[in-house]
Amino acid sequence: MKAMSFSPANHCNLKLQKNPIKQPILANPTHFNSHQNQKPSNKKHQFPSFSIKASKTPQTPLTKNPDTPPLVVVGSANADIYVEIDRLPKEGETISAKTGQTLAGGKGANQAACGAKLSYPTYFVGQVGEDAHGRLITEALKNGGVNLDCVRNLSDAPTGHAVVMLQPDGQNSIIIVGGANMSCWPEKLSDEDLEVVRKAGVVLLQREIPDLVNIQVAKRRPKDLLAQAARSAGVPVILDAGGMDAPMPPELLNAVDIFSPNESELARLTRMSTESFEQIGHAVVKCHKMVSLDTPIIKCFVCVRYEGVKQVLVKLGAKGSALFIEGEKPIKQPIISAARVLDTTGAGDTFTAAFAVALVEGKTKEECMRFAAAAASLCVQVKGAIPSMPDRPSVLHLLQTV
């Protein structure tokens, strides 16, 4: 997948809404036989089994346990304008599309929709315009069971959108217009605004919103030393590298627990080749050490040198994925083959969100990656981003058959 991004400057000041945080919700009435509602651990768990009461009409989502710490996605929401083409146009050439349609998408909205479809309580924190595209996205997320208390509607900026050029083999090229995703965020988020983040079980970020917002969210760490010492048992933050084509601020990379690029994003950010697995490993080391990703920052005549990120989850497309934990042997996960590949849009977002759900449920890293691989395999078999997000029964069924 190739992507380009365009975004407007910040032309307005917006105070975030102070909505009371409601209890997490789930997309459908789901009855669990077993379910792990706890922080990530190293204990082995089996994926839960459960039964679902089917419903033909939208219902009020319910939770098994109102105290379950939710998945919180802070990120982008786009209207994806799909055009199906036989090939990409050459320079100066005009070609005709076979079909075209507009669907809800954006990396943040995709990941939130995936979390809810996987029957985990999910909040989305983002911005849309007061327009038809904004209504399209919020309706899709609401119908999917995502909590939208922290979504802001902007009157001064249009909803972000993307042009997705889909080719017959399922591969795509994307051009993004940032719109509300990149406009009108406050320079400093208040404690009230971040209340939902502090109560999260896991937080997902992407780079289709300003780095300043991501940094503030990622740095929501407990201030007392005891809590800092137990950081691994706190709120894990996962940063998906997808989004803006710009240098990675070391302050952001240092503030997240897991950094998740694909091969091309890793190559671009590290300025290293990622053609082979060995080369990917060398590039990951640069992420661990922060070597040459940026220069040390001078603050008040003190050289501030960042430590880098200790866990790097690399999405390798048809070659699967690999989790690199500093000082440990990489964990490799091959793809789970799809019966057919119709559209790869949203596959990476599905993988990341499914990994996050399994992580917060207490699964091992190997189990997390296998669960994510199964979700991504189902995603590519349906056209569209949010429409292609699989539900939990489908993922568990696939895991039982491979």
Among the options 131, 193, 257, 349, which is catalytic? 349
Which residues form the domain of 129? 71-77+106-158+181-222+232-292+303-401
Among 219, 151, 157, residue whose Cα is nearest residue 183: 157
- Known binding site for substrate: residues? 78-80, 106-110, 208, 349
Is a pLDDT exceeding 90 seen at residue 244?
Answer: no
pLDDT, position 299: 43
* Of 56-70, 138-152, 331-345, 372-386, minimum mean pLDDT range: 56-70
d(CA 250, CA 68): 32
Q: Is 349 an annotated catalytic residue? A: yes
Please list the residues that pair with 304 across neighbouring strands: 297
Decide if 352 is inside a domain: yes
The tokens describing 218, both together, are 């990622």
In a domain, residue 8? The reply is no
> Does residue 367 fall inside a structural domain?
yes
- Name the band, by pLDDT with cuts 50, 70 and 90, for residue 24: very low
Q: Tokens 């302050």 appear where? A: 251
Question: What string of DSSP letters covers 170-221?
Answer: S-EEEEEE-GGGSSS--SS--TTTTHHHHT-SEEEEEESS-HHHHHHHHT--
SS3 143: helix
**In what helix (H) or strand (E) does residue 268 lie, and over which residues does it extend?**
helix 263-270
- Looking only at the bridges linking them, the beta strands covering 302-304 and 311-315 are unpaired
Residue 282: its pLDDT value, please?
94
Query: Does the residue 15 lie in any domain?
Result: no
Residues annotated within the binding site for K(+) are: 343, 345, 379, 382, 384, 388
The annotation places the binding site for ATP at 262, 315-320, 348-349
63-81 mean pLDDT:
86
Q: Is the pTM of this model over 0.95?
A: no
Predicted pLDDT at 7: 47
| Residue for token pair 């058959």 | 401
SS3 284: helix
User: Which of 164, 2, 5 has the alpha carbon at shortest distance from 84?
Assistant: 164
Q: Are 290 and 307 in contact (CB under 8 A)?
A: yes
Instruction: Give the separation between CA 288 and CA 285, rounded to whole angstroms.
Output: 5
- Our count of domains for the chain comes to 1
Measured CA to CA, the distance from residue 191 to residue 73 in angstroms comes to: 17
Q: Among residues of the chain, what percentage have pLDDT more than 70?
A: 74
For CA atoms 350, 354, 356, 357, give the dihedral sign.
positive
Q: Does 125 fall in a domain? A: yes
Q: Is 12 inside a domain boundary? A: no
Q: How high does pLDDT run on average in the chain? A: 80
User: Known binding site: residues?
Assistant: 78-80, 106-110, 208, 262, 315-320, 343, 345, 348-349, 379, 382, 384, 388
Q: What is the CATH number of the domain that holds 188?
A: 3.40.1190.20
Measured CA to CA, the distance from residue 382 to residue 106 in angstroms comes to 17
CA 344, CA 110: separation in Å to the nearest integer?
13
Classify residue 135: in a domain, yes or no: yes
pLDDT digits (tens, 9 = 90+) for 122-150: 999 999 999 999 999 999 999 999 999 99
C-alpha 355 chain-centroid distance: 10
- Is residue 99 one of the residues assigned to a domain? no
